[in-house]
């Protein structure tokens, strides 16, 4: 009973978009409001998993396997809801006054090319529920992130010739140590009511060629987790200032920092009809109407940036996502589908 389209957004990577009505994409649906249910089709890899990643075993009240919670479980409750609200209905008439759009997108675990393509096609809606694993908690706010690429250049020399060498790794270490005050500064302001404070960490570092050689280069990537409203430049500037100060005290320091991939944090106000209606549906199905912040970045950001209020609500816990053993409770699947419907 749905109009279904499949879009190849990159070679071998597909979006599936289904709609219960036939109105214009950027117009109002006939007779009511439009709701998008979204989930991503991809998962992370399976290396190091303790169980058969593709078995889909059902045991101890859980479904086990890669993607069980992140986010095949979310896809399952979306499809169950779509089936329950089929525009054909039992009597051949639409059981809902609005339009339901099911948007299943590719590549969230990497570059989100699927969601980017979806919003670029001009969809408009009154709200969206992204069914990431939240343990059936409504999460209307999430953090963003900025990756910062650092390159420290030294001078290669034999390890026995300190007068000739400049240690790029040591300089990178001095920079990291100088960031400790910045970590404290990030917790001095007023905390976000759902997300608390921004943060940062050193994600990767590499450099050097051999133990007996002064390293000519060291590369590191920092990740700064941002709050809604923080821009890339706001997040990057303090790191550049720390490096600038370090140049006055560290001899032969030759380093550059560059802002990399940025994804904004976004939020939907608690008084938004989407949040209030979802919480009411939870209470109606006997689920505690809890509201929390999502610390991870998710595709909901693209929807919010496009003017579509988007919140996260789905089965399973983010603690199981990407782990060696991944599962989703069957109760979460059944209850989640009833709440969405």
pLDDT digits (tens, 9 = 90+) for 17-74: 999 865 555 556 555 789 999 999 999 999 988 889 998 899 999 999 999 999 999 9
How confident is the model at residue 319, as a pLDDT?
84
What pLDDT digit, counting tens, does each position of 135-173 carry? 999 999 999 999 999 999 999 999 999 999 999 999 999
What pLDDT digit, counting tens, does each position of 89-115 carry? 655 554 566 899 999 999 999 889 999
> pLDDT-derived band of residue 296, with 50, 70 and 90 as boundaries?
confident
* Residues with Cβ within 8 Å of residue 152, at least 6 apart in sequence: 168, 169, 171, 172, 175, 207, 217, 218, 219, 220, 253, 254, 255
Using the predicted structure, report yes or no on whether residue 84 has a pLDDT greater than 70: yes
How confident is the model at residue 22, as a pLDDT?
53
With H, G, I as helix, E, B as strand and everything else as coil, classify residue 209: coil
Q: Is 233 exposed, middle or buried, given 0-12, 13-18 or 19+ CB atoms closer than 10 A?
A: exposed
> pLDDT-derived band of residue 337, with 50, 70 and 90 as boundaries?
very high
> pLDDT-derived band of residue 318, with 50, 70 and 90 as boundaries?
confident
Phi, psi dihedrals of residue 117, rounded to the nearest 5°: -65, -40
Q: Please indicate, yes or no, whether the overall pTM of this predicted structure exceeds 0.75.
A: yes
Please spell the DSSP secondary structure of 222-258, one letter per residue: EEEEE-TT--HHHHHHHHHHHHHHHTTTSTT--EEEE
In the chain, the percentage of residues whose pLDDT exceeds 90 is 84
Bridge partners, residue 255, by sequence? 152
> pLDDT-derived band of residue 322, with 50, 70 and 90 as boundaries?
confident
How confident is the model at residue 87, as a pLDDT?
76
Average pLDDT over residues 238-249: 96
Lowest mean pLDDT among 84-88, 91-95, 219-223, 246-250: 91-95
DSSP E strands in the chain: the ranges are: 3-10, 13-19, 34-40, 58-59, 62-64, 99-105, 127-130, 138-142, 144-153, 199-207, 217-226, 255-263, 266-267, 291-294, 310-312, 327-329
C-alpha dihedral, 274 to 276 to 278 to 279, nearest 10°: 160
How confident is the model at residue 279, as a pLDDT?
98
Cα atoms in the Cβ-side hemisphere of radius 13 Å centred on 236: 17
């Amino acid at each position: 009973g749905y109009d279904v389209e499949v879009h190849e957004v990159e070679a071998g990577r597909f979006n599936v978009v289904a709609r219960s009505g036939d109105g214009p994409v950027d117009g109002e649906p006939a007779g009511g409001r439009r709701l998008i249910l979204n989930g991503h089709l991809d998962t992370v890899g399976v290396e190091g998993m303790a169980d058969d990643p593709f078995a889909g075993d059902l045991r101890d009240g859980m479904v086990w396997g890669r993607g069980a919670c992140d986010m095949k479980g979310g896809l399952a409750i979306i499809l169950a809801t779509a089936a329950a609200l089929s525009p054909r209905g039992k009597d051949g008439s639409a059981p809902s006054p609005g339009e339901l759009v099911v948007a299943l997108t590719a590549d969230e675990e990497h570059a989100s090319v699927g969601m980017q393509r979806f919003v670029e096609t001009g969809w408009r809606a009154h709200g969206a529920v992204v069914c990431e694993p939240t343990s059936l908690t409504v999460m209307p706010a999430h953090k963003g992130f900025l990756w910062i690429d650092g390159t420290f250049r030294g001078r290669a020399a034999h390890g026995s010739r300190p007068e000739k060498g400049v240690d790029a790794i040591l300089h990178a270490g001095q920079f990291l140590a100088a960031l400790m005050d910045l970590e404290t500064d990030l917790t001095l302001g007023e905390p976000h009511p759902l997300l608390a404070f921004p943060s940062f960490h050193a994600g990767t570092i590499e450099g050097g060629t051999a133990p007996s050689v002064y390293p000519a280069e060291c590369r590191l990537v920092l990740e700064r987790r941002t709050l809604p409203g923080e821009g890339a430049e706001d997040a990057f500037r303090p790191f550049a200032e720390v490096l600038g100060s370090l140049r006055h005290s560290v001899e032969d320091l030759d380093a550059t920092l560059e802002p990399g991939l940025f994804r904004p944090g976004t939020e939907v106000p608690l008084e938004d009809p989407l949040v209030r209606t979802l919480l009411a549906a939870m209470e109606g199905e006997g689920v505690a109407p809890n509201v929390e912040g999502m610390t991870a970045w998710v595709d909901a950001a693209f929807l919010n940036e496009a003017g579509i209020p988007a919140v996260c609500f789905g089965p399973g816990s983010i603690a199981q996502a990407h782990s060696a053993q991944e599962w989703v409770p069957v109760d979460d699947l059944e209850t989640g589908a009833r709440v969405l419907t």
